[in-house]
Amino acid sequence: MSKEWPLWEVFIRGQHGLSHRHVGSLHAPDAAMAVHHARDVYTRRNEGVSIWVVEAKHITASAPGEKGPLFEPSNSKVYRHPTFYDIPEEVGHM
Amino acid sequence: MSDALFEYALRMGDNCLILGHRVSEWCGHSPALEEDIALANTALDLIGQTQLWLGLAGEIEGKGRSADDLAFLRDARAFRNLLLVERPNVDFAHTLVREVLFDVWHFHTLGALKGSSDARVSAIAEKALKEVSYHLQRSADLTIRLGDGTQESHDKMQAALNALWPYVGEMFLQDEVDAELADSGVGPALGVVKPLWDGDMRRLLDQATLKWPDIAHVQKGGKAGVHTEALGFVLADMQFLQRAYPGAKW
């Protein structure tokens, strides 16, 4: 058994938020204790109503070196932003 | 009645204050950062509950003493906490076993106090019970993990359990204060907490593969103000600033 606990990434749904957001990471021996630790470390100031944890090794990330091909092509495609519509006032926040 | 309730509020408040202080001694020294923060959270919950109980005690007494006055300006003989909560931290096993023995009692006591005929008491119990439910969830979970963990963690947990067992009995000793409050419906009915504690503790120790200690001896005195030498050191640490610089503010 390794002496070091595995790393977990923590996602919290805020009081008024619609989706879980990544808030940080912590160490824990398993998922149940990771949720306990997340509660103790990341919700002390009333930040959340729901917690997700996922072991960091299960996250697959994009490579920083591929930034160009992955993200730059969308820079020039302004028509993908819905800024050409008039939104009626009564619709409110979208 | 008001004398009995004053006494009872001191007992509840002093349990929270002294255990909260003990737990806070881990701050910056815990085995892991996550555990350090969790222990500090527990300590802060308990200090918060202290303010409520000692605030109520001061109000009932009617001599203008605040929760702070009661916490910082009383001597050991005037403290009414159980001997269990003043026991030193020793190691993580002792700290955890002390916590779980107390949490199960605290949980069921507050559960009974939620139905108190005194609205102030039931309001404090309701607020505290949410915090204590989490304390118990945490301490029970860790007790099972470490009791049913490695040989070393198991042995340390069993040793701590045996060492602290003589302090369990005092939680269930009832005197005229308890009887008077039970009669008026302000406090828990006599004898209501012990069977609940026994049942929970048997299940918990079973799961944790720990042995129910075969120790009948009961150390008592805390509820009446007769303490072990450990309390003096806690108070020296906790009260020094207010004693040396009366009225000093943060």
Per-residue pLDDT reduced to its tens digit, B214-241: 999 999 999 999 999 999 999 999 999 9
* Assigned token pair, B146: 């470490």
CB-closest option in B38, B141, B145 to A40: B38
Give the pLDDT of residue A46. 83
What integer best gives the mean pLDDT of chain B? 96
The alpha carbon of residue B32 is apart from the nearest alpha carbon of chain A, in Å, by: 9
Count of structural domains within chain B: 1
* Assigned token pair, A94: 């979208």
Bridge partner list, A21:
A12
Which residues of A fall within a CB distance of 8 Å from B41? 40, 44
The alpha carbon of residue A85 is apart from the nearest alpha carbon of chain B, in Å, by: 49
* Assigned token pair, B101: 């023995």
Q: Decide if B47 is inside a domain.
A: yes
Which residues of A fall within a CB distance of 8 Å from B137? 36
Which residues of A fall within a CB distance of 8 Å from B152? none
The alpha carbon of residue A22 is apart from the nearest alpha carbon of chain B, in Å, by: 18
Neighbours of B49 (CB within 10 A): 25
Binned at pLDDT 50, 70 and 90, residue B31 comes out as: confident
Binned at pLDDT 50, 70 and 90, residue B16 comes out as: very high
Q: With H, G, I as helix, E, B as strand and everything else as coil, classify residue A38.
A: helix
Per-residue pLDDT reduced to its tens digit, B51-102: 999 999 999 999 999 999 999 999 999 999 999 999 999 999 999 999 999 9
Q: Decide if B249 is inside a domain.
A: no
Backbone φ, ψ for residue B176 (5° rounding): -65, -25
Give the pLDDT of residue B1. 56
Q: Do B37 and A27 touch (CB under 8 A)?
A: no
Q: Decide if B250 is inside a domain.
A: no
The alpha carbon of residue B148 is apart from the nearest alpha carbon of chain A, in Å, by: 15
Q: Decide if B110 is inside a domain.
A: yes
Q: Decide if B210 is inside a domain.
A: yes
Q: Do B34 and A28 touch (CB under 8 A)?
A: yes
Q: Decide if B192 is inside a domain.
A: yes
Which residues of B touch chain A, with CB atoms under 8 Å apart? 32-34, 37-38, 41, 134, 137-138, 141, 145
Which residues of A fall within a CB distance of 8 Å from B141? 32-33, 36
Sheet containing strand A50-55, edge to edge, reads A20-27, A7-13, A50-55
Cα separation, B179 vs B196, whole angstroms = 19
The range of the structural domain enclosing residue B84 comes to 2-244
Which residues of B fall within a CB distance of 8 Å from A35? none
DSSP state of B148: T
Per-residue pLDDT reduced to its tens digit, B37-52: 999 999 999 999 999 9
Bridge partner list, A11:
A22, A52
Which residue of chain B comes nearest to A25, CA vs CA? Answer: B34
Which residues of A fall within a CB distance of 8 Å from B145? 29, 33
The alpha carbon of residue A49 is apart from the nearest alpha carbon of chain B, in Å, by: 15
Q: Decide if B221 is inside a domain.
A: yes
Which residues of A fall within a CB distance of 8 Å from B33? 26-27
Write the DSSP assignment of B180-232 as a string of letters: HHHHTTSSPPTTSHHHHHHHHHHHHHHHTT------------GGGT---HHHH
Q: Do B34 and A26 touch (CB under 8 A)?
A: yes
For chain A, list residues with pLDDT below 50: 1
Q: Do B37 and A44 touch (CB under 8 A)?
A: yes
| Element spanning B1, H or E | none
Mutate to test the interface with A, among B34, B37, B39, B136 (most CBs of A within 10 A): B34
Within chain A, what is the greatest distance between any pair of CA atoms? 61
Q: Decide if B10 is inside a domain.
A: yes
Single pTM value for the model:
0.90
CATH number of B64's domain: 1.20.1260.10
Give the pLDDT of residue A1. 47
Bridge partner list, A24:
A10
Q: Residue B47: which residues within 8 A CB-CB, separation 6 or more?
A: B16, B17, B20, B21, B24
